[in-house]
Amino acid sequence: MESEIELDVMAVGAHPDDCEIGCGGTLAQLARQGLRVGIVDLTDGEPTPNCSSPAARLQEAEAAASRLGIQKRITLDLPNRRLFDTFESRIALARHFRIHRPKIVFCLEGKTPTASPDHWQAMQITEAAVFYSRLSKWDEHFGRLPVHVISRQVYYSLFYESQWSGIGPRQFVFDITDTLETKIEAVKCYRSQFPPEKDYIYDRIRSMANAIGLSAGLQSGEVLTATTALGSRNLLQTLLLS
Ligand SMILES: [Zn+2]
């Protein structure tokens, strides 16, 4: 049984390193602000060409979580490369939502052409699990875990092959100026995925974060997409980031 710490935010990725690349700066910043943050990797991400074993990848993931300063990292045993949106995978994730009771869930968004199709499946599994978490009269699948209503779901993107082309509807930029380097250090923990010949990835992450930040008048940012229009009760804070 997982320890039952309650979390404010849970981010879900298909593989260890998805959350770091897509929203690592945001997660690190939220943790700095005192929120309790967790990551769920639906698979262990293995095998991959340069990683010696699943245990080695898990070690990298733990090191990355520690860099980000988050409270919890969970790796489910769903299969890498053949992750599918099945009833069982939805239940497996929803169980962790019921255990850790996040207010906000970060969900992978969109297809990643030329990269793993697991990402698209992860999006569908996460959306379904957010819903399954709240359904009553389902003890045969959830035992005594109480239902849990997740208040908000937001999407993050991996932006493979520079798919980002400006802010779209319901998107907003989260300021990661103070945690961009932390994000990069967390990604660097995955030496098996980013060996020295791929060091260019760090410049790309920096350039992307700065371009996204610039679009909102910030130094560096990550794009998040809400499922509904966002409201405001503090115009100065919203418009001036003051
Ligand atoms: Zn991935």
The model's pLDDT over 28-75, given as tens digits with 9 standing for 90+, comes to: 999 999 999 999 999 999 999 999 999 999 999 999 999 999 999 999
Q: Is 74 a domain residue?
A: yes
- For residues 8 and 36, give the distance between their C-alpha atoms in angstroms, rounded to a whole number: 5
pLDDT, position 1: 43
Identify the pLDDT of residue 242.
75
Q: What is the mean pLDDT of the chain?
A: 94
161 CA distance to ligand 1 middle (Å):
14
C-alpha 14 to ligand 1 mean position (Å):
5
In a domain, 25, yes or no: yes
Average pLDDT of 120-146?
96
Residue 161 has pLDDT above 80, yes or no: no
What mean pLDDT do residues 117-123 have?
A: 97
Q: Kindly list the strands in the beta sheet with 171-175, ordered across the sheet, starting from the edge strand earlier in the chain.
A: 72-75, 37-41, 9-13, 104-108, 152-156, 221-226, 171-175
Domain assignment present for 1:
no
Rounded to the nearest whole angstrom, what is the distance from the C-alpha of residue 188 to the centroid of ligand 1? 15
Q: Given a cut of 90, is residue 125 above it in pLDDT? A: yes
Segment 23-30 mean pLDDT: 98
Q: How many domains does the chain have?
A: 1
Rounded mean pLDDT, 140-156? 96
| Interval 137-152 mean pLDDT | 95
Q: Which domain holds residue 216?
A: 9-240
* Pairwise CA distance, residues 96 & 89, whole Å: 11
What pLDDT is recorded for position 166?
81
Q: Which two tokens stand for residue 67?
A: 């860099």
Report yes or no on 178 lying in a domain: yes
Residue-level pLDDT at 42: 98
Summarised one tens digit per residue, pLDDT across range 85-106 is 999 999 999 999 999 999 999 9
Banded model confidence at residue 164, pLDDT cuts 50, 70, 90 = confident
Q: How far is the CA of 110 from the centre of ligand 1 (A)?
A: 12
The pLDDT tens digits of the residues spanning 216-241 come to 999 999 999 999 999 999 999 999 98
Ligand 1 geometric centre to CA of 20 (Å)? 10
Instruction: Using the mean position of ligand 1's atoms as its centre, give its distance from the Cα of residue 22 in Å.
Output: 10
Task: Tell me, in angstroms, the distance from the centre of ligand 1 to residue 155's CA.
Answer: 15
β partners of residue 155: 107, 225
Q: What is the pLDDT of residues 170-195, one digit of tens each?
A: 999 999 999 999 999 999 999 999 99
**Whole-number percent of the chain with pLDDT over 70:** 97
How far, in Å, from the CA of 137 to the mean position of ligand 1? 34
Its sign, for the CA torsion 17, 155, 3, 8, is positive
For residue 241, the model assigns a pLDDT of: 85
Inside any domain, residue 83: yes
Confirm whether 3 is domain-assigned. no
Q: How far is the CA of 18 from the centre of ligand 1 (A)?
A: 5
Burial class (CB within 10 angstroms; exposed 0-12, middle 13-18, buried 19+) of 196:
exposed
Give a yes or no: residue 183 inside a domain.
yes
Q: How many angstroms is it from 13 CA to the middle of ligand 1?
A: 7
Question: 227 C-alpha to center of ligand 1: Å?
Answer: 22
Query: What's the CATH number where 88 sits?
Result: 3.40.50.10320
Q: Is residue 4 part of a domain?
A: no
